[in-house]
Every structure is written in C-alpha cells, then in structure tokens.
Amino acid sequence: MKISIERATLLKAVGQAQSVVERRNTIPILANVLIEAEGNTVSFRATDLDIEVVDKAPAQVERAGATTVSAVMLHEIVRKLPDGALVQLTADAASGRLTVEAGRSTFSLATLPKEDFPVMASSEYTANFSAPAPILRRLFDKSKFAISTEETRYYLNGVYMHVATGEDGQVLRCVATDGHRLARIDAPLPDGAQGMPGVIVPRKTVGELRKLLDDDDMQIAVSVSETKVRFATPAITLTSKVIDGTFPDYTRVIPVANARRLEVDAAEFAKAVDRVATVSSERSRAVKLQLDEDRLILSVNAPDAGAAEEELAVAYGDERLEIGFNAKYLLEIASQVDRENAVFLFNSSGDPTLMREGNDTSAVYVVMPMRV
C-alpha cells in the first residue's frame, strides 16, 4: 500500500478514529486503526467493540492495500507535522512496518495484520431516516448533561431516543435522567422514523456523534435496530451498540400540575447562582431560593466557609416559597436556555420543579429539590 494525502485531511480522519480507541486495552489490535486504500479514497476504521467509526478521505492511491497501525501514535505524529505538508504512507507487509514521510521527517511504525482487525457485524435496521444535523445536535446537546454516571443503573448511562406523542402529534424525543434531574427534548418526526424502536444511545456514542454534527447544512442518515444505531454522513459512519435495558417510565416524574410560575432571565440567574455558590465548600451544596412577589433571593449558608446572598428582580406573583437545589444542577439546567427567559414551575418545597424556555414545551427539564 502506498498513498499520498494532505496533512489536514489525514489529521481530521485519524482524529475521529483515535477518539473511539480505548486508552487501556488488553487486546492489542483494538489500539490500532485499520487503513484501507483503493481507488482514490482511503478509509480509517477504529473500534472498541461497542462503537465503530469509519472515516473516508480523498487521497492519491499509488498502490491499493490495507494495514493496521497504532491510532494514537499516528494521530500524534500527524498532529506534529507542519501545516500544509503532503504525507506519504507506505506499508511494507514483509517487514510489518508502515512508513510515514512528510518533508524531511520519516517515521517507521509497527503494524499488525489487517485480518486480525474485528469488523462489526452488519445488521438489518428496522428504521432508516435522515435528519438535519442541527436538529440532532439540539436533541443530544440539550439532554446529555443529565446522563447518569452510575454504573449500577446502566440503563440510565445514555440518552433514550424514541418516537413519542407530543402536543402536536408524533415527535422524535430524547430523554436522559440520573434520578436527580431529567431532560426531555422533542423535535419534529423525520419521514421514515415512524416505526423506530426506542433505543438507549450510550454516553460515549453521544460524545462521538457530536463530532459529526458541526456542519449546519449536513443531512445525517440515521438507522436504528433493536441492538444497534448508526449515524452516517458522506464521509463518516458511526455505528454503535445500544444499551441493553429498559428505560424507566419518565412521564411519571414530569410534573403537570405545578402552578407557581417564576420567570427569570436565564443568563442573569445562572451568573447569580454561580456567584453565591462560590462560598459553598463542596459543589453539592444547596442554594436556597426564597420567592416573594417579583423578587428572588438566592442564598448559600456554609457554616465553615461563610454565607452569600443575592437578590434578583423576577416575574413571580404567587405565594411565598422557600426551596433548595443543588447549585450544579441549577447551573446546568439554566445554561440550556438559548433564546429567552427561563420559566420555572414549582409546586412545593418537596416536589420536583419543572423548567422550560418561555412557553416552548419542546424542551422540558425537571430537577429534584434538596432540603436546606
């Protein structure tokens, strides 16, 4: 195999591949990226046995062929090469080496036979549809903060993507929760997604998928089966196993009868919470919200460190309320608001609180209070 490829193109392709590779591997081949060259394209494939990413890039292929080489090392080398360099990759099967040449630099890297590289079994997908990148980006970006990190409740370690019934008919919905807070984001249902099985997309996959969604004009081809999910652009295909478990019935925890309504500028609110939370010794410390007519007092009282309070002008017309929250959860939820004011709907100091943007019900957040 012998190919010539632009440094920037190679860096992008290898970068995507090496981020899937697990740093600590018991199986040596899993640390490698499979490079396959034919025609005028070269593909880079990497896997951790749960996720597989294939990145195609244009290249001048002098001799077709394939080999596998350490993904992290190749990425580091290419990253350190000068901008605009033309990189030549030559694989010598006899010596088991891959030579990387650019300008005056030459590297010779150990390879492993391509036959040992595990290729993910292809499966039949029950639903295939395409969705614009900005829509998928919003669905996953706004929900991923609530993904649980508790390994024991493994079925919460991802985003539950499924078809649901919203206010105006069927929607594509993403939900994530860790038991303390919950995010529920809706988008218009794309054509072809009607029969899609609900799947839990793992946290790592959500992180890798994010890299495919930066281009606003891109259409992402999505394929879903009971066991796998695949996201593809013309250049990159990301295939992942889904979490084998049942996502809990989240509709039961979303309050519908919360009547006390607080409207506040989300950015101002987030900054104020951040300021008063500074004195709390641990990040888990509660911030107390005292609501009175058209004013909100945020306060933190940490006996060992000090106390802080800040007053905000807000729109609130219901009876007095004191309620405590984890500062980190409040900050994360407030930072999801893009456009307008955040609307909080309270019931009592012991019940879950609902947050949304203005009157927009396509993004709804729930947060559990803390005792203060």
Report pLDDT for 339. 76
Q: Write out pLDDT tens, residues 265-320.
A: 999 999 999 999 888 766 557 899 999 999 999 999 888 888 999 999 999 999 99
Q: How far is CA 223 from the centre of its chain?
A: 18
Mean pLDDT of 68-91: 96
Q: Are 326 and 180 in contact (CB under 8 A)?
A: yes
How many angstroms separate the CA atoms of 100 and 122, rounded? Answer: 32
- Mean pLDDT, residues 225-231 taken together: 96
Q: What is the mean pLDDT of the chain?
A: 93
pLDDT band of residue 329 (cuts 50, 70, 90) is very high
Average pLDDT of the segment spanning 366-372: 90
pLDDT category, 103, cuts 50, 70, 90?
very high
DSSP string, 292-314: ETTEEEEEEEETTTEEEEEEEE-
What are the Cα distances from residue 12, in Å, to 8, 39, 76? 6, 20, 12
Rg over CA atoms, the chain: 25
Percent of the chain beyond pLDDT 90?
84
pLDDT on residue 166: 87
* Alpha carbon distance 152, 150 (integer Å): 5
Q: With contact defined as beta carbons under 8 Å apart, do 134 and 216 qualify?
A: yes
Mean pLDDT along residues 198-222:
94
What integer pLDDT is reported at residue 284 of this predicted model?
58
> What pLDDT sits at residue 285?
77
What is the C-alpha to C-alpha distance for residues 332 and 274, in angstroms, rounded to an integer?
A: 11
**Res 338: pLDDT:** 82
CA distances from residue 253 to 153, 184, 328, 339 in whole angstroms, order as listed: 17, 11, 20, 26
pLDDT for res 155: 96
Neighbouring C-beta atoms of residue 220, cutoff 10 Å: 22
